[in-house]
A = this chain, B = another copy of it.
Amino acid sequence: MLDRIDRRILGLLQQDCSLTNVQLAEQVGLSPPACLKRVRRLTDQGYIDKRVALLVPERFGPSLHMVVEVEMVSDQRHVNEAFANRVRASAEVKQCYRVTGEVDFVLIVMVSDMSAYEAFCERVLYAEPNMKKFRTLISMRREKFDTAIDVDRS
């Protein structure tokens, strides 16, 4: 499926995709066309989702990260699917995890200040009829944010 060179390519690209294909080819020891063919194949076969620029939040004014644990009234799938959709459409919500146990959803919400967070709670959380309760953990500091995954395991 994926050989050592493919993994090396993916590892490098998820560290830094501003590498030119020539540089990438050099790093993995292939000719540029051979390297390009692999990258194209990895993209076509759905290993690479997309390439994005990661910005530095601090440069855009103060911001808060909220970790929000949401408990729903019922675990009915279609009802919670509706909530998941609202959350996906909500710009403040950067991540949403569906978890098992008492809590049903964990959200990572990014806002510029408390009033923006209150507005979000009104618009998304309190507006959801199936929402039972939620707990907010306030973070003023993101210590680590790494988008790379372990590519040496499949």
A contact residues vs B (CB 8 Å cutoff): 10, 13-18, 45-57, 59-61, 63, 65, 67, 69, 84, 87-88, 91, 93-101, 103, 105-106, 108, 110, 112, 137-151, 153-154
Do the beta carbons of B52 and A144 come within 8 Å of each other? no
A51's closest neighbor in chain B, by CB? B18
With a cutoff of 8 Å between Cβ atoms, the chain B residues found around residue A14 in the complex are 52-55
Of B10, B61, B99, the contact of A137 (CB 8 Å cutoff): B99
Could you show 7 A-B contacts with beta carbons less than 8 Å apart? A16-B52, A49-B54, A50-B54, A52-B147, A61-B154, A94-B145, A106-B139
Q: Give the Cβ gap from A15 to chain B, nearest Cβ, in Å.
A: 7
Q: Give the Cβ gap from A135 to chain B, nearest Cβ, in Å.
A: 9
Within the assembled complex, what's the spacing in Å between the Cα atoms of A129 and B8?
37
Do the beta carbons of B59 and A46 come within 8 Å of each other? yes
Known: A53-B51, A87-B144, A138-B99. A106 touches B67 (CB 8 A): yes
Do the beta carbons of B143 and A88 come within 8 Å of each other? yes
Known: A106-B137, A140-B100, A143-B97. A48 touches B52 (CB 8 A): no
With a cutoff of 8 Å between Cβ atoms, the chain B residues found around residue A98 in the complex are 139-143
